[in-house]
Amino acid sequence: MHNRRAFFCVASVLVSCVTVFVGCATGSKTGGEDKEPSGAMKITAPVALAFKGEAGRQEKMKYYSASVVETHEEGQITRRKEEAVEFTVVTRTQDVEKDHLVWEMETVEKDGAVNLHDLAFPELKESLEYKIRPNGEVLQAGPYPRTSVFFVPPVPLPNRLVSPGDTWTLSHEWISMSSGIPLKVDLVTIFKSALKCGEGLCAVLEISGDVSISGPLQEKLRFESEIKGYLIYSIDKGSMVASRIANREAMLTGPTGMRVHSCMVGVMREPTLTVPGLVDEMKCNPEEFSTKIVQ
């Protein structure tokens, strides 16, 4: 199964900001997590990273998302807004077809006023049916159109067998439902290492990339974006176990600008898979731009 938007706090804050403002500049990149984690395992043959499932299977994921938005005028901060939301999503496998899975996803708990649709999740007590291929391609997402954020692949999975050290890319375009602005995400994923994960193995995946604005606005805006993070993906179960993603973007139009920092953490709560060294803290500081997920 899955972590419905493992990497997707990425454009949610951007979309909201572009809706109310078109405006700044980001800082420099920070380093990755290069040390091999405790519990690292060697694998002797390439593996498939793909969604798997069996009818009746259920998973519960808990998420925390936070953002800081600053508006600037002539180099001075004129407005600062902080938002956070904590929520729990239950995903049930309804059916397993030859070329896709059928999921029912429901948000069962929510603490915070953030619009979960901006994060590509159902709202509290809302239930959506998804049809998705093993490689992450979304075929149906409730009543939402194919041009919506709900059709961005929930996890950047490869289309081939992979081993630690391999890389692959994901590129996807959609249109903001709130602003009508066309957006594009480009991600590079690195298979960093394998970990013992319960009775099986998990893959530690490092992601990096950016979100860009498409269409006429692309020529009018000075815009920068950076995404980075780590995912822990169960090779055996075909499910997301944990994720920690940070994002920052900035826009500038004349003397006025906006800077956004956001982060998102997700951890599977049911069923439980023990991951040695997992950073299980359900909080993140968007201004730290930190994504360490295993010790």
- Is residue 92 over pLDDT 60? yes
Q: What is the pTM of this model?
A: 0.85
Query: Do the domain assignments include residue 35?
Result: no
Query: Do the domain assignments include residue 43?
Result: no
Query: Do the domain assignments include residue 211?
Result: yes
Residue pLDDT, tens place only, 72-88: 887 788 999 999 999 99
Residue pLDDT, tens place only, 221-243: 778 889 999 999 999 999 999 99
CATH number at residue 132: 2.30.230
Query: Do the domain assignments include residue 129?
Result: yes
Q: Name the pLDDT band for 99 (thresholds 50, 70, 90).
A: very high
Query: Do the domain assignments include residue 104?
Result: yes
State which residues form the domain around 75: 12-28+48-270
Query: Do the domain assignments include residue 131?
Result: yes
Query: Do the domain assignments include residue 287?
Result: no
Q: Name the pLDDT band for 12 (thresholds 50, 70, 90).
A: very low
pLDDT at 282: 80
- Is residue 26 over pLDDT 70? no
Residue pLDDT, tens place only, 167-224: 999 999 998 887 788 889 999 999 999 998 888 899 999 999 999 888 777 777 778 8
SS (H, E, C) the chain: CCCCCCCCCCCHHHHHHHHHCCCCCCCCCCCCCCCCCCCEECCCCCECCCCCCCCCCEEEEEEEEEEEEEEEECCEEEEEEEEEEEEEEEEEEEEECCCCEEEEEEEEEEECCCCHHHHCCCCECCEEEEEECCCCCEEEECCCCCCCHHHCCCCCCCCCCECCCCEEEEEEEEECCCCCCEEEEEEEEEEEEEEEECCEEEEEEEEEEEEEECCCHHHHCEEEEEEEEEEEEECCCCEEEEEEEEEEEEEEECCEEEEEEEEEEEEEEECCCCCCCECCCCCCCCCCCCCCCEC
Residue pLDDT, tens place only, 132-167: 999 999 999 999 999 999 999 989 999 999 999 999
Query: Do the domain assignments include residue 168?
Result: yes
For the chain, the domain total comes to 1
